[in-house]
Structure 1
Amino acid sequence: MTALVRYQLATLLLSQRYLAPLILFTGLVAVLTSDDSGPLTAAHGAASAAMLLAATWLTMALTGLEDRPHRALLTAATGSRRRLLTGTVLTALLGCLPLTALGLALPLLVGTHTPTAADLLLGTETQLTCALTGTAVGLLASRPLVRRPGFGLLLALGLLLVLTVSKGLPPVNLLLTRLSTHDRSAELLASTALLLALAAALLAAAAALVHAVTARRD
């Protein structure tokens, strides 16, 4: 598994397809938190929304690196479709970790804040929640499941829209609503941890669906 993740990370870096989601994430966080001196919960909301978009884009870029023949060869080399899919998910999540660190640091650099340990922990939880959710969306809209890139893009946009604007829908809309209406990070840690667990479950369900569909097709 380690070799597979290293291979996919190297392929992603060489393809430079990570640049677009990286630029998108950095630009959104910098613009939305520039000169901000309010509660860090609002900054976490901005970074989390940006992470949702970036994780979706990054996952779709990663799953689109190989065409069908190359993917078949990679499946044979790894031993199973499940291992290949697991490696892809792990690679996407590893790609989100530097963005998480960037999302914690940028609001402090472009705004005026005095962070506490609870602020940093909450920011990590919220961004990881959106990273897991975005990875799930990216899998559902990826090439192994949706053959036409245009349809995949439309599906991703539709899912992101539902997740963000459906009032009270966990994990994303509920998370962003709580971040915008509360200013004490410590009070949100427990509830956000539950949303993080829910996002992990959603990613597992998305991966299971992708595996089942691709196995039946092949």
Structure 2
Amino acid sequence: MTALVRYRLAVLLHSQRWLPPLFLNLVALAVLTSSDSGPLLSSYAVAAGAEFVCGVWLTAALVNAESPVGRAVTGVNAGGPERVWAGDALAGLAACAAPAVLGLGYPVVAGNHPSVTAAQLGVGALAMAGCACAAVSVGLLTSRPVIGRPGAAVLAAVAAVVLLLLVTWIPPVHETLTLLAAGRTAAGVGLPIAGLAAGGAVLLALCTLAASRRAGRG
């Protein structure tokens, strides 16, 4: 599986489709968190939201970077399409590490937060992990093997992003961002955000399975 994940990441890197989402993620951080003097967790709410959007784009780009024929060959070599989808999920999470690290570090460096604690960084990392799981879930379900028409795939991805960002009863993204922006201490939000991150991992497992089965019927 490690070799498969490395291969999937290599395909993404070679395609250079990672450049636009990472650039937009950096722009969002620069515009919305530079010189911010509010609570660090509020800046992390912005960073986690930006990472979520970036992660959806990165994951879809990762899956779509390989042609259908090439993907079929990869499936044969990997031991089946299910393993390829699992590799895509893991590679998507690895790709989300870039916006996550940017999201954790940029507000600290560019903002005015005099007292940065390990607890705040830990809560930020948990929030990034949960949003990354949700992002990869959406990216897999709106990729080309699942939704064949590019226009429909883009509309589905945008709709899913908007719903997860704005609808209160769909976890984990909206609730995570709300907790971060609520002005509470890291100790006060750490446990619920950890629970939401765990829920995001479960969501990713289910969506990976759903994408594999849906693509198999296509």
Report the TM range for the smaller structure's normalisation: over 0.9
Q: Is the 8 A contact 2:145 2:215 kept in 1?
A: yes
- Aligned ranges 1:85-100 → 2 under 5 Å: 85-100=85-100
Q: Which residue of 2 aligns with 1:209?
A: 210
Q: Partners in 2 of 1:30 and 1:185 — Cα distance?
A: 23
Q: Percent of counterpart pairs with the same letter?
A: 39
Q: Which residue of 1 aligns with 2:34?
A: 34
1:134 paired to 2:131: no
Secondary structure, counterpart of 1:161 in structure 2: helix
Deviation at 1:168, TM superposition (A): 4.3
Secondary structure, counterpart of 1:182 in structure 2: coil
Q: Which residue of 1 aligns with 2:150?
A: 149
1:12 paired to 2:12: yes
Secondary structure, counterpart of 1:17 in structure 2: coil
Q: Partners in 1 of 2:84 and 2:169 — Cα distance?
A: 34
Secondary structure, counterpart of 2:30 in structure 1: helix
Q: Partners in 2 of 1:7 and 1:204 — Cα distance?
A: 21
Q: Which runs of 5+ in 1 are unaligned?
A: none
Count residues in correspondence: 217
Opposite residue 2 of structure 1, the aligned amino acid is T
Opposite residue 5 of structure 1, the aligned amino acid is V
Q: Partners in 1 of 2:140 and 2:7 — Cα distance?
A: 19
Q: Which runs of 5+ in 2 are unaligned?
A: none
Q: What TM-score, normalized by structure 2, do the two folds share?
A: 0.96
Q: Is the 8 A contact 1:40 1:183 kept in 2?
A: no
Secondary structure, counterpart of 2:170 in structure 1: coil
Q: CA RMSD in A?
A: 1.1
Q: Which residue of 1 aligns with 2:167?
A: 166
Q: What TM-score, normalized by structure 1, do the two folds share?
A: 0.96
Secondary structure, counterpart of 1:115 in structure 2: coil
Q: Partners in 1 of 2:183 and 2:199 — Cα distance?
A: 21
Q: Which residue of 2 aligns with 1:47?
A: 47
Deviation at 1:5, TM superposition (A): 1.3
Q: Please give the per-residue CA displacement for 1:47-100, whole angstroms capped at 9, x wherever unaligned.
A: 000011010000010010112111111111111111111111111111111221
Q: Which residue of 2 aligns with 1:79?
A: 79
Q: Partners in 2 of 1:147 and 1:101 — Cα distance?
A: 32
Q: Which residue of 2 aligns with 1:181?
A: 182
